[in-house]
Structure 1
Amino acid sequence: MFNKQVAIITGAGQGIGLAIGRKLATAGVRVVLNDKEEGLARDAAAQIQKEHGICIPFAGDASDVTFIEAMVDKAVTQFGSIDIVIANAGITLFGEFLNYTPDDLNAVMKVNLAGSFFLAQAAARKMKAQQTGGRILFMSSVTGHQAHKNLAAYGMTKAALEMLAKTLVVELSEYRITVNALAPGATLTERTVHDATYESTWSRITPTGRPATTDDIAHAALFLVSPQAGHITGQSLIIDGGWSSVSPSPY
């Protein structure tokens, strides 16, 4: 289906990014897997390479423009093209609005927004030159749609990514590049399983009766970057088991 396409996934050493990497590699995509932690990137890529398909690690800071450009260049040098980019890297820094610090705000903005923006820019330049089209996918969140306590900064960045996806339709469609966003709700990952009440709380308040798995999110990502989604662009898909339709607070 993907005909040996090439993908970059940032923040993919574990969790949703890793699940997407597995799905893409299994489908025949050659994957450049990024994580800020070198050990996570190396181990995740080795696991995918062994069990699912072609994957190489590229560790580093996905919010750094110089690194982003080097990563895109690596994909093209290693595999000959760049066809799919998934800006999955992001950070969450909880904090009350009245006490939120400039340092925390700048950190969230740099990773979640600037990193995604400049990754899309660097990849789109290559895709334009290739003249073969491409897929760009941003990772938003239900917090970009519904208010969550202590997540004003994070939710703001996620809503902004969805607007970026819409705006880039105007600038990139002529090059056959689609741009969309996924907005996961509560999801069971390595991070959330450390909260003993997370699964039970979100199972109680989610209409489908459970939080998402990383595969739930990965299946949707695979579709949006596939050839079958060639006429879908500028859209944001919420994957939250219906939570945002009713929005009960977990607190």
Structure 2
Amino acid sequence: MDVKTAGVFSGKTAIVTGAGQGIGFEICRQLVQEGAAVLLNDVDEALANDASRKLQKIGKCIACPGDSSDLTFIRQLVARAVTDTGTLDVVIANAGITLFGDFLNYSPESFYRVMQVNLGGTFFLAQEAAKQLIKQGRGGSLVFTSSVTGHQAHKNLAAYGMSKAALEMLAKHLVVELSSFGINVNTVAPGATRTERTEADAEYVSTWSAITPMGRPATTADIASAVMFLISDKARHITGQTLVIDGGWTSVSPSPYEED
């Protein structure tokens, strides 16, 4: 007879931003499946509610629509985690936006919006969450979502790429600030990944399969599984690190292999 055992995150609560679909949603799915109570955030209210309803079929998931770059909302999000579940243990700052544009004509509006969401939202969510984790006195885990564009230059992504590189340095700095409280902070840097957004491009899979050493772009499960490791007890002595998940692309980028 099969006996269902408690998941490895039973009794823990996680906040995941930018989780209405794609990588964020898969992180939430894996967390809920492993017993965590999850606060699923997305700026799109319909997406957040729909995603949460799907996950409620397998565990506890609370829809928290709102702008994760807004400090008032961030404070409400952390407070709700504690009010609704009694604890906060894990925060995945996954929300981000990509606004393409060539450097010479990139607008201040686009620049500051990218920085507000990608940097400001992550920084202040980490700050607010860390205060709660310190108050609880049990440690915890923070994970930021960076990108291979923080390692390799891409045309028309100067602002986005610099914001992602900055997140990796933020994780390093927080080692100094938070390690003594038992809080580890790491970053994942996904490469090309199959999501609802990228699947809209008919050439996406074939293009990235051709130039990725492992022969395919990542799945959302590839990225989420790496996150699950970094927030697990198996990674308690890992902090300030960035895990690049790109099938080897950054080792050979940007050109595809050529025939000899």
TM-score normalised over the length of structure 2:
0.95
Which whole-Å CA distance do the structure 1 matches of 2:255 and 2:45 have between them? Answer: 36
Quote the residue 2:49 is aligned against: 42
* Residue 232 of structure 1 pairs with residue 238 of structure 2: yes
Among 134, 143, 146, the alignment partner of 2:140 is: 134
Partner of 2:18: 11
Match of 2:28 in 1: 21
Q: Which residues in structure 2 correspond to 1:128-167 (within 5 Å)?
A: 128-167=134-173
Runs of 4 or more consecutive aligned structure 1 residues displaced over 6 Å after TM superposition? none
Partner of 1:60: 66
1:144 and 1:27 mapped to 2: Cα distance?
Answer: 31
Q: Deviations over 1:189-235 (max 9, x none)?
A: 00001111111000000000000000000000111011111000000
**Distance across 2 between alignment mates of 1:94 and 1:38:** 24
Provide, for residues 1-24 of structure 1, a one-character-per-residue CA deviation record: whole Å limited to 9, x for no partner: 223100000000000000000000
Q: Tell me if 1:223 matches 2:229.
A: yes
1:195 pairs with one of 180, 192, 201: 201
Amino acid at match of 1:14: Q
Q: Deviations over 1:226-247 (max 9, x none)?
A: 1111000000000000000000
Per-residue CA deviations over 1:93-150 (Å, capped at 9, x if unaligned) read: 0000000000000000000000000000000000000001010000000000000110
Matches of 1:13 and 1:90 in 2, distance apart? 12
Q: Name stretches of at least 5 consecutive residues in structure 2 with no aligned partner.
A: 1-7
Mapped contact 1:2–1:227 kept (Cα < 8 A): no
Q: Distance in 2 between matches of 1:227 and 1:8?
A: 18
CA RMSD in angstroms, aligned pairs only: 0.8
Q: Which amino acid aligns with 2:200?
A: H
Q: Tell me the secondary structure at the aligned position of residue 56 of structure 1.
A: strand
Superposed displacement of residue 53, structure 1: 1.4
Please say if residues 140 and 182 of structure 1, whose CA atoms lie closer than 8 Å, have aligned partners that are also in contact: yes
The match for 2:181 is 175
* Letter in structure 2 aligned against 1:137: V
Contact 1:116–1:138 (8 Å) recurs in 2: yes
Partners in 2 of 1:249 and 1:46 — Cα distance?
42
Identity of aligned residues (%): 64
Within 2, Cα distance between the matches of 1:248 and 1:180? 26
Task: State the distance in 1 between where 2:126 and 2:158 align.
Answer: 24
1:249 deviates by 4.2
Query: Which AA in structure 2 matches 1:181?
Result: T
Amino acid at match of 2:75: E
**CA shift for structure 1 position 82:** 0.6
Q: Distance in 2 between matches of 1:97 and 1:196?
A: 27
For 1:33, what is the secondary structure of its paired residue? strand
Letter in 2 for 1:75: A
CA distance in structure 2 between the aligned counterparts of 1:4 and 1:48, rounded to whole angstroms: 17
Q: Tell me if structure 2 keeps the 8 A contact 1:11–1:89.
A: yes
Residue 30 (structure 1) aligns with: 37
Distance 1:246 1:49 in 2: 42
Query: Aligned pair count?
Result: 249
Structure 1 counterpart of 2:4: none
